[in-house]
Copies of this chain bind each other. A is one copy, B any other.
C-alpha cells in the first residue's frame, strides 16, 4: 500500500519530469530560434536579390540557402525526437498542432524558393511568405513558453519569446526597408508599415526587459550596440520622413541592410545567451530537485510519528512563501513527513501563483492578437491598422489595450459572419 511518503516522493518526481520535459523544450526552442534567424537572413537577401532584378546578392543568397537548409534539417531531426506520450495533454495538443502547421510550411519551402527565383512574385509577396513561416515557428516558441510548469523557466521563456518576436519585427523592418531603398522611391503605405514594425519591436523589447535578467538586458545597451542603433535611427529617419514618391538612394539599400544586420546579429547574441541561460536553468533545477528527492530516502527509516500528529499540528500557516525563502527544502534531518508535506504544498502553491503571474503576460498577448485578427477579418484592416484601432480605442476610453481587446472579442459573437 502506498504511504504519504510515497506520494511526497511522487510529487517530487512529477516536478522532475516536468523539468526534464522543459529541458527538452529548451533545446527545441533553441533550434527554432536558430531556424528563424536563418529564414530572416534568407528573407532579407531574397528581397535584395529581387529588388535588384536578380543583378546583385545572388551569391550571398545561395550561401544563405545552404545554411537555411542545414538548420532546417537539424530542426526536423530535433522535432522528430518529440514524443507524444511525453507531452502534457492541453499544452501538448496545442504544441503539436503548431508543429503540424510549421511542417506544412517547411514542406513547401523549396517550391517557394523556386517560385521566388523565377521572379513571379514581387518583394512584398516574398516577404509575406517568409513572415508567415516565421510566425508559425514563433507560435511554437509561444506554446513552449505557455507550457512551462516552473515559474523561473517560464519567466525566461517569456523573455525569450518576446525578444525573438521583437527580433522578427526587426527582421521585417530590415526586409521592408531594403526593398524600399532598392526600389528607389518612397511609398506612404510602406513607410506607415515601417513605423508600425518599429513600434511593435519596441513593445516586445519592453516585455523582454521586464522578464529578463539584468545582465542580459545590459547586452542591448552596450556601447557598440548603441552606435549601431544611432546609425539605424538616422537611416530610419531618411526612410520614414521622405515624401511619398520622393527619390531614395538605391545604394543605401546595402548600407541599410548592413546596419540592420549588425543590429540583428547583436540581437542574435542576446538570443543565444537567453537560450543558453534557459538550458542552464533547467539543468540546475533538475539537479537540485534530484538531490532533494534523494534526501527524502532517509525518511523511510525514521521512527513512526505519533499517529495523531495530523490532528494535533497547529492549523495551516498561510500558504505564502516569505520573501527570499529558499526554493528547496534543505536536508530533511529530523523533519517529519507531515512537515515536509506542508512545506511541499506551500512551495508548490507559491510556484503556481508565480506561474499564473508570468502566464498573464502571455494571455494578454493572445487576447490582443485575437482581437487584431478579428478586426482585420471583419473590417478588412491591415495588421498595422488593426493595432492602431485598438490603441486608439484604449486611449479614447482610458483603458488598457488588453481590456479593449477583451471587449472587442466579447463583441465577436454579435458581429455578422464575414
Using a CB–CB distance below 8 Å, which chain A residues touch chain B?
A: 1-8, 10-15, 17-19, 21, 76, 79-80, 84-85, 87-90, 92-101, 103-105, 107-108, 110-112, 115, 129, 132-133, 149, 307-311, 315-320, 322-323, 337-338, 341-342, 344-345, 348-349, 351-353, 355-356, 363, 366, 370, 373-374, 376-378, 409, 412-413, 417-418
Task: Write the nearest CB–CB distance from A398 to chain B, whole angstroms.
Answer: 19
Additional pairs, 17, CB under 8 Å, beyond known A4-B104, A14-B87, A94-B352: A3-B103, A11-B92, A11-B97, A14-B84, A15-B93, A17-B85, A17-B92, A18-B88, A18-B93, A90-B352, A97-B341, A104-B309, A316-B373, A318-B373, A318-B377, A318-B412, A353-B366
* Cβ contact within 8 Å between A4 and B319: no
* Cβ contact within 8 Å between B311 and A14: no
12 contacts between A and B (CB under 8 A): A4-B99, A11-B92, A11-B100, A13-B84, A15-B89, A17-B89, A18-B93, A104-B338, A107-B310, A133-B311, A318-B373, A320-B374
Q: How many copies does the complex hold?
A: 2
The CA-CA distance from A376 to B318 in the complex, in Å, is 8
The CA-CA distance from A88 to B94 in the complex, in Å, is 15
Task: Write the nearest CB–CB distance from A212 to chain B, whole angstroms.
Answer: 23
Q: Closest residue to A337 on the B side, CB-wise?
A: B104
Task: Write the nearest CB–CB distance from A135 to chain B, whole angstroms.
Answer: 9
Q: Hey, which chain B residues are within 8 Å of A103, CB to CB?
A: 2-4, 7
* Cβ contact within 8 Å between A308 and B149: no
* Cβ contact within 8 Å between B341 and A149: no
The CA-CA distance from A311 to B112 in the complex, in Å, is 8
The CA-CA distance from A232 to B112 in the complex, in Å, is 75
The CA-CA distance from A103 to B340 in the complex, in Å, is 13
Q: Closest residue to A132 on the B side, CB-wise?
A: B311
Q: Hey, which chain B residues are within 8 Å of A2, CB to CB?
A: 79-80, 103
The CA-CA distance from A103 to B8 in the complex, in Å, is 10
The CA-CA distance from A13 to B318 in the complex, in Å, is 40
Q: Hey, which chain B residues are within 8 Å of A133, CB to CB?
A: 310-311
Known: A18-B89, A370-B318, A377-B318. A8 touches B108 (CB 8 A): no
Q: Closest residue to A351 on the B side, CB-wise?
A: B90
The CA-CA distance from A200 to B98 in the complex, in Å, is 44
Q: Hey, which chain B residues are within 8 Å of A90, CB to CB?
A: 18, 149, 351-352, 355
Task: Write the nearest CB–CB distance from A42 to chain B, whole angstroms.
Answer: 14
Q: Closest residue to A85 on the B side, CB-wise?
A: B17
Known: A129-B311, A149-B90, A374-B318. A4 touches B100 (CB 8 A): yes
* Cβ contact within 8 Å between A100 and B318: no
* Cβ contact within 8 Å between A310 and B105: yes
Q: Hey, which chain B residues are within 8 Å of A309, CB to CB?
A: 104, 108
- Contacting residue for A320 out of B18, B344, B352, B412, CB 8 A: B412
- Contacting residue for A310 out of B8, B10, B99, B104, CB 8 A: B104
- Contacting residue for A115 out of B3, B84, B308, CB 8 A: B308
* Cβ contact within 8 Å between B409 and A320: yes
* Cβ contact within 8 Å between A104 and B17: no
* Cβ contact within 8 Å between A21 and B311: no
The CA-CA distance from A106 to B14 in the complex, in Å, is 23
Known: A310-B132, A341-B101, A417-B322. A14 touches B93 (CB 8 A): yes
Q: Closest residue to A323 on the B side, CB-wise?
A: B413
* Cβ contact within 8 Å between B341 and A92: no
